[in-house]
Amino acid sequence: MAVLEIKKYPEKILREKTESVSEFDDELQKLIDDMIETMYAAPGVGLAANQVGISKQVAVIDVSVGNEESSLIVLINPEIVYKEGEEASEEGCLSIPEYTTIVKRASKIRVKCLDREQKPCEVDAEGLLAKALQHEIDHLNGFLFIDRIGRIKKEFFRKRYSREKSIDKK
């Protein structure tokens, strides 16, 4: 297993829809293992394959945050098939470090996917897990959490981001 480099905004791959997985081979299993190790090392509660530069519909999530036994979920070709309610809470992203903001998301969701053994599965979620699932599936579809915020907050983010980048170059 290896810790992979997490791609940072505004890298192009973060804005591209990832490709569906059709081959469940050793290469895919290694990618999943490396993503899990990378997510825990970051540390984060979720990671999508395009965040490590791979255009595949693969995500890993563990919302246990070290407080309990691992609740690791591996999602392949995930799709949200049901949404209910709305909840606003603070979000951040490993690809946009040191920036958090309030994001509105569905409060309850159902996701259909395949697990790492290619078995169909459904995940019903609410709370942090629902938020993490929506966040990672957004990544797989080329969206970032900053795409889910209002115009004024987005402008604030752009100004802060460009200011920080110009400081980095000095």
Name all domains of the chain by residue range, CATH numbers in brackets.
Answer: 12-169 (3.90.45.10)
Q: 3-class SS at 66?
A: coil
Distances (CA, A) of 119 to 35, 46, 96: 20, 21, 32
Q: Which string of b and e fits 89-124 if b means at least 16 CB within 10 Å? A: eebbbbbbeebebebebbbebbbebbebeeeeeebe
Q: Is the pLDDT of residue 89 over 50?
A: yes
Cβ-contact 107, 126 below 8 angstroms: yes
pLDDT above 70 coverage of the chain, percent? 95
Q: Is the pLDDT of residue 70 over 90?
A: no
Q: Across residues 53-60, what is the average pLDDT?
A: 98
Q: What is the pLDDT of residue 164?
A: 72
The letter for the amino acid at 162 is S
pLDDT band at 49 (very low <50, low <70, confident <90, very high): very high
Question: Which of 37, 126, 136, 155 is flagged as catalytic?
Answer: 136
136 classed as catalytic? yes
pLDDT band at 81 (very low <50, low <70, confident <90, very high): very high
Q: Model-level pTM?
A: 0.93
Q: What is the pLDDT of residue 156?
A: 85
Q: Burial level of 1, CB count in 10 A (0-12/13-18/19+)?
A: exposed
pLDDT band at 125 (very low <50, low <70, confident <90, very high): very high
pLDDT band at 60 (very low <50, low <70, confident <90, very high): very high
Q: What is the pLDDT of residue 20?
A: 98
- Nearest CA to 126 among 92, 84, 98? 84
- Nearest CA to 14 among 149, 143, 162? 143
- Nearest CA to 100 among 44, 48, 23? 44
Q: Is the pLDDT of residue 113 over 50?
A: yes
